[in-house]
Chain A
Amino acid sequence: MALKPCRLDGVAAQTLCGTLEVFEDRAAAKGRKLSLRVVVVPALASQPKADPLFFLAGGPGQAASRTRILPALERIRRQRDIVFVDQRGTGDSHPLDCDALNPSRVSLAERFADRDDADVLPRCRKGWDADERLYTTSIAMDDLDDVRAALGYGQVNLWGVSYGTRAALVYMRQHPERVRTAILDGVAPMGQYLPLYAARDGQRALDLLLEACAKDAVCATAYPDLRARTEALLARLEASPAKVRLPHPRTGVTEDFVLTRHVFLSELFSLLYSPEVASLVPLMLDRAAKDDWTSFVALSLGLTDEVARTTSRGMFLAVVCAEDAPFFTEADAEREAKGTWFGPRMALEVKKACARWPGSTVPKAFREPVVSAIPTLLLSGELDPVTPPAWGEEAKRTLSRSLHVVVPGLGHNTVGADCARSLMAEVLTRGGVEGLSPDCGKGLKRPPFFTSFAGPVP
């Protein structure tokens, strides 16, 4: 593969870019071709290690080359090339993008509209020059192995984040001899179906947050009875959606929109991914209970832009409709969401959208746990609303040479913590997890809650 110097948005370091052509239909090996975008950040050492680090992005649908995670890999980059490959259907690799699915909207009314993906899907599908059945993880991981071979690497190290951990597990199963070590951060094992368990796992994160506030003297004083008042708020929204009138956080122009319980909850869910953002949630809930939606709107808008920039929503459906939705029923969704505020709607919506998706197949036993002896570091954030530590434990059961580290006070993905980065670098240096410290950030706590407009306690 010919690599040419190129620039990555937000990355000052010199990078090399190339493309690799693969058949969309790998099995038939004919017909439409996709060109995969490949970005290599060369190691600094004059004699780099032969095995690079391959980054597998989340989503599904996130473009590896658009995530700005390189600064976190500074230590690893000294010795090893870092390779970003936009998985087929994402980024610059034949993306399954569609404006109608994209939540980044101009007006607040559109942005917070309560709508189903299923309604806009037919329009989106018409715009894609693609056979959506062929954008699954197994196929993409065979692509990835082609990239590895084209770049001339014998073995690679994998770093999967969120959905990328599923991708990494699949790669470990399909090309075990090619993997030296794997790092799975925010583990989504084969037993986890998207988004079947989201309501349950999200509720756990929310409960942890409300408990932490209730236990914290300052937070409890500033926002008394937060749980009860939030429940009352949700009941009110259930009865009738809120009519909101406020200035747009960016333009300052006053707008009107209607906010339903469902939209409020799904935005709240997104706010739990990062504890830094979540530190504003008690304040936001307190305001919202008083019918003041300003912080809620600003926070929600703040999150979506980045997601929209890096993620192809159509690709999310391509993976989920092939690999997740067929494996659970509406009844499963009702059962798993029982007793949660979030309810089964997220899972049911996906079921509905996937009903109109062309039927794709996954390899037999795709959903069996991945059994492997490849040295694997599993990382979980204690407060993660989507891949909480329990999923890491589950994946660990069939990975014989693995270490699971739960980082306290962190949410979805742990690379923000210095000790997690040290662990990652250590695994790569040692080529194994034996002798690694199982504690990371002992004594770390979630960032303090905002208890006034000025911030937390100083």
Chain B
Amino acid sequence: MRRLVGTVLRKEVLDHLRDRRTLGSALLWPLLGPLVFLVMFNVMASWYRQDRPLEMPVVGREHAPSLMAFLERYGATLSEAPEDYEALVQAGKLDVVLVVPDDYAEDFAQGRTAAVRLVVDSSRNKARHSVQRAQRMLAVYSQQTGSQRLFARGVAPELAVPVRVDELDLSTPEKTAATVLTTIPLFLVMAAFAGGMQLASDTMAGERERGSLEPLLLNPAPRGAVVAGKWLATCAMAATGVMLCLLGYFLVVKRVPLEDLGVRARFDAQAALGMLAAVMPLVLAASAVQMWVSTYARSFKEAQTYLSLLMVLPTLPGMMLALSPIQTQTWMFAVPVLGQEMLAAEVMRGETLGPVPFLLALLSCLVVAALALRFTTRLLSHERIIFGRS
């Protein structure tokens, strides 16, 4: 039996290693995540890099010379705002414009609260950092001048600040990073599906379409052995995909200036091993389900359609989590796909989890794999499956 499984496995792997198309899509897919990551975060980091001065066009500079002096002192580069500044902000040509109204000077001199206006487009992520800096500078000026006014009158400014709120942020830079890096677990899980997809659809639906499934099953080999061999071949491809994906991230993370985003990614060898341990069991389940689905499909094309739909599955937990943030609970690790994504994320956050979640995730995947393999084997004893349905 073991020899038979081995023979099928060897044959399938060899066959598909010769097939450029299968190989190409199986290997390219897992590398997509790291590539997207490399480009996206390099671009984002370039937006957030603080080293450039804050460029701020101003309308009505002449009304507030002291405020202008303050802003320049704290590193803002001021300029005259163009006429159509609102349109330019909307178009993303300008990050932020400061408008000093005509009555600023009078209000200020009278000791009233004087108003200025920041013109921003809050839907533009790229401008967010500049806007925050502008807001912070203006807040410091307001607070500082307010304190000085009180000092001048012989009043301690602390009186106007009865309570100070100090935030105790318990998140570590790694944890903050995990929210930025949620794409990594997602793409890892997708790699587990993508790696074996071609092979699964080809070995079952494809073989039937070519008419080679029938002679194969005529051999004096148990159907279970044939299925197991094909499954293991699929697993091998999927596992390769996951490892490629992880390796890709491993290389890419070091080339992204995450520190400019104020976060730190924990992506050492230990974390990589942890993620591998988290995602690998899914390979068994995903490959088995893919085989089952493609056995059931009427044609190679149909199998591919189903399997592509199956690929959407990994994105669902992420969307669910984004829409309604739920607290992690132990049973969730036992849900395939969701469990893997959560495990990988936790490993990346630098949490120490203990063996239980990993075992739960492994067990549930084994159960799913066993069931799917059983269904597949049973399907193969139906004549209409082997000869194709119509």
| Complex interface: chain B residues within 8 A of A409 (CB) | 73
| Complex interface: chain A residues within 8 A of B104 (CB) | 458
Contact A75 B153 (CB under 8 A): no
| Complex interface: chain A residues within 8 A of B144 (CB) | 276
| Complex interface: chain A residues within 8 A of B69 (CB) | 445, 447-448
Least CB distance, A344 to chain B, in whole angstroms: 30
| Complex interface: chain A residues within 8 A of B152 (CB) | 280, 283-284, 295, 298, 450, 453
Is A33 an interface position by the 8 A CB rule? no
Is B209 an interface position by the 8 A CB rule? no
**A-contact bits for B105-126, CB 8 A (1 contact / 0 none):** 1001111001000000000000
Contacting residue for A280 out of B67, B148, B166, CB 8 A: B148
**B-contact bits for A280-310, CB 8 A (1 contact / 0 none):** 1001100000000111011101100000000
| Complex interface: chain B residues within 8 A of A44 (CB) | 173, 258-259, 262-264
Q: How long is the Cα–Cα vector from A443 to B262 in the complex, in angstroms?
A: 32
Known: A44-B264, A418-B75, A458-B63. A79 touches B259 (CB 8 A): yes
Closest to A10 in B: B166
Is B64 an interface position by the 8 A CB rule? yes
| Complex interface: chain A residues within 8 A of B110 (CB) | 454
| Complex interface: chain B residues within 8 A of A419 (CB) | 75
| Complex interface: chain A residues within 8 A of B254 (CB) | 46-47
**B-contact bits for A399-414, CB 8 A (1 contact / 0 none):** 0000000000100000
Q: How long is the Cα–Cα vector from A293 to B109 in the complex, in angstroms?
A: 23
Contact B158 A250 (CB under 8 A): yes
| Complex interface: chain A residues within 8 A of B168 (CB) | 7, 12
Is A174 an interface position by the 8 A CB rule? no
Contact A298 B151 (CB under 8 A): yes
Known: A12-B168, A447-B73. A458 touches B156 (CB 8 A): no
Q: How long is the Cα–Cα vector from A425 to B166 in the complex, in angstroms?
A: 28
Least CB distance, B8 to chain A, in whole angstroms: 43
- Interface hub of A284, A302, A417, A458 (most chain B Cβ within 10 A): A458
Contacts between the two chains (Cβ within 8 Å), count: 128
Is A27 an interface position by the 8 A CB rule? no
Is B154 an interface position by the 8 A CB rule? yes
Give the residues from 210 to 253 in chain B that come closer than 8 angstroms, CB to CB, to chain A: 253
Q: How long is the Cα–Cα vector from A250 to B161 in the complex, in angstroms?
A: 12
| Complex interface: chain A residues within 8 A of B74 (CB) | 416-418
Is B169 an interface position by the 8 A CB rule? yes
| Complex interface: chain A residues within 8 A of B253 (CB) | 46
- Interface hub of B111, B150, B264 (most chain A Cβ within 10 A): B264
Contact A12 B169 (CB under 8 A): yes
Q: How long is the Cα–Cα vector from A425 to B51 in the complex, in angstroms?
A: 10
Contact A454 B149 (CB under 8 A): yes
Is A45 an interface position by the 8 A CB rule? yes
Is B32 an interface position by the 8 A CB rule? no
Question: Please, how many residues of chain A have a CB less than 8 angstroms from a CB on the other chain?
Answer: 54
Is A279 an interface position by the 8 A CB rule? yes
| Complex interface: chain B residues within 8 A of A452 (CB) | 109
Least CB distance, A436 to chain B, in whole angstroms: 14
Least CB distance, B73 to chain A, in whole angstroms: 6
Is B167 an interface position by the 8 A CB rule? yes
Is B65 an interface position by the 8 A CB rule? yes
Contact A456 B166 (CB under 8 A): no
Q: How long is the Cα–Cα vector from A409 to B73 in the complex, in angstroms?
A: 9
Least CB distance, A41 to chain B, in whole angstroms: 11
| Complex interface: chain B residues within 8 A of A450 (CB) | 148, 152
Contact B75 A75 (CB under 8 A): no
| Complex interface: chain B residues within 8 A of A298 (CB) | 150-156
Q: How long is the Cα–Cα vector from A444 to B74 in the complex, in angstroms?
A: 10
Q: How long is the Cα–Cα vector from A205 to B109 in the complex, in angstroms?
A: 28
| Complex interface: chain B residues within 8 A of A438 (CB) | none
| Complex interface: chain A residues within 8 A of B263 (CB) | 44
Known: A14-B172, A441-B73, A448-B66. A455 touches B108 (CB 8 A): yes
Least CB distance, A284 to chain B, in whole angstroms: 8
| Complex interface: chain B residues within 8 A of A299 (CB) | 151
Closest to B262 in A: A44
Contacting residue for B153 out of A9, A74, A418, A453, CB 8 A: A453
Q: How long is the Cα–Cα vector from A443 to B77 in the complex, in angstroms?
A: 12
Known: A44-B262, A249-B155. A417 touches B73 (CB 8 A): yes
**B-contact bits for A414-430, CB 8 A (1 contact / 0 none):** 00111100100100000
Is B70 an interface position by the 8 A CB rule? yes
Is B274 an interface position by the 8 A CB rule? no
Known: A74-B50, A447-B69. A458 touches B155 (CB 8 A): no
Give the residues from 17 to 52 in chain A that come closer than 8 angstroms, CB to CB, to chain B: 42-47
Give the residues from 42 to 66 in chain A that come closer than 8 angstroms, CB to CB, to chain B: 42-47
- Interface hub of A7, A10, A46, A283 (most chain B Cβ within 10 A): A46
Closest to B174 in A: A14
Closest to B155 in A: A249
Is A106 an interface position by the 8 A CB rule? no
**A-contact bits for B44-74, CB 8 A (1 contact / 0 none):** 0000001101000000000111110110111
Is A122 an interface position by the 8 A CB rule? no
Is A253 an interface position by the 8 A CB rule? no
Is B145 an interface position by the 8 A CB rule? yes
Contacting residue for A297 out of B64, B72, B145, B154, CB 8 A: B154
Least CB distance, B198 to chain A, in whole angstroms: 34
Closest to A444 in B: B73
Known: A14-B173, A458-B63. A444 touches B72 (CB 8 A): yes
Is B265 an interface position by the 8 A CB rule? yes
| Complex interface: chain A residues within 8 A of B6 (CB) | none
| Complex interface: chain B residues within 8 A of A12 (CB) | 167-169
Known: A445-B69, A454-B149, A458-B67. A250 touches B259 (CB 8 A): no
Is A358 an interface position by the 8 A CB rule? no
Is A457 an interface position by the 8 A CB rule? yes
Closest to B172 in A: A14
Closest to A79 in B: B259
Closest to A75 in B: B50
Known: A12-B168, A298-B154, A458-B114. A453 touches B149 (CB 8 A): yes
Is A247 an interface position by the 8 A CB rule? yes
Closest to B67 in A: A458
| Complex interface: chain B residues within 8 A of A444 (CB) | 72-73
B residues touching A (Cβ–Cβ < 8 Å)?
50-51, 53, 63-67, 69-70, 72-75, 104-105, 108-111, 114, 144-145, 147-159, 166-169, 172-173, 253-254, 257-260, 262-267
Q: List 27 A-B contacts (CB under 8 A).
A: A14-B172, A14-B173, A45-B257, A46-B258, A46-B267, A279-B148, A280-B148, A294-B153, A298-B153, A298-B155, A301-B156, A302-B147, A417-B74, A418-B75, A425-B51, A443-B72, A445-B69, A448-B66, A448-B69, A453-B153, A454-B108, A454-B149, A457-B65, A457-B109, A458-B104, A458-B108, A458-B114
Closest 8 CB pairs of A and B: A418-B75, A294-B154, A44-B259, A78-B259, A458-B108, A249-B156, A458-B105, A45-B259
* 15 extra A-B contacts, CB within 8 A, seeds A276-B148, A454-B110: A13-B173, A46-B266, A250-B156, A250-B159, A279-B148, A280-B148, A293-B154, A295-B152, A298-B152, A417-B75, A425-B51, A448-B65, A448-B66, A453-B152, A454-B149
